[in-house]
Amino acid sequence: MNHSPTPLRLHRETVRPEWIDYNGHMNVAYYLLAFDHATDAVLDHFGIGKAYAEGEGRSMFAVEAHLTYAHEVTEGDGLTFTSLVLGADAKRLHLFHEMRHEEDGFLAATAEFVLLHVDLAERRSVPLAPETAERLTRTVAEHATLPVPPQAGRSVGLRTPKGA
């Protein structure tokens, strides 16, 4: 049987009351918190999440993040996440997530992260275990056959929007 690659679907979340700001919608920072939970789910999937940090004394630290905010969400909304592994090397991981409204299906936001593998005692970067790096590299190759999200690799600025 053929195996068709798909994005990882490992996380869902409900918008909490304390995530709402004076504009009456989920605050920018809590989009990132929800995306961080989705990142944790991906890290758990590859055996490098919270349990790994607590058991092995090594963890993944974010060094860079890029978010695009496409649509408001509000208290009680269900959110679902899909995740792509866009890149990996001996120490680093490049993830991309989409957040969608669970009921209505619209894209709410995207997030792109680069994470670095760190020794928690020394607080400095160290290589991933070779088997983890290999498994990540295989996933990068699988996900490379999927369409590249238009929000990936973009930089922030006041360029003129497409079609404007």
From 4-12, 76-84, 107-115, 141-149, span contacting a copy of itself (CB under 8 A): 107-115
Beta carbons of 125 and 117 less than 8 angstroms apart? yes
- The answer to whether 153 contacts a copy of itself (rule: CB under 8 A) is yes
Question: What does DSSP say about strands 107-119 and 92-101: parallel, antiparallel, or unpaired?
Answer: antiparallel
* Sole window of 51-59, 76-84, 98-106, 142-150 interacting with a copy of itself (rule: CB under 8 A): 51-59
Structure tokens at 106: 């619209």
Instruction: Select the residue interacting with a copy of itself from 8, 10, 15, 67 (CB under 8 A).
Output: 67
Q: Which two tokens stand for residue 127?
A: 């290589």
**Tokens representing 63?**
């060094």
Distance of closest approach, residue 3 Cβ to a copy of itself, in angstroms:
25
Distance CA 21, CA 23 (A): 5
- Residues 3-22 binding a copy of itself (CB under 8 A) are 22
* Contact range with a copy of itself by CB under 8 A, out of 8-16, 74-82, 87-95, 98-106: 87-95
Near a copy of itself by CB under 8 A: residue from 44, 80, 107, 114: 114
Smallest CA-to-CA distance from 42 within 115, 101, 91, 104 is with 115
Cα 144 from Cα 150, distance rounded (Å): 14
Reduced to 3 states, what is the DSSP secondary structure of residue 106?
Answer: coil
Residues within the interface to a copy of itself (CB under 8 A): 22-24, 27-30, 32-33, 35-36, 50, 53-54, 59, 61-69, 72, 86-89, 92, 94, 112-114, 120, 123, 153-158
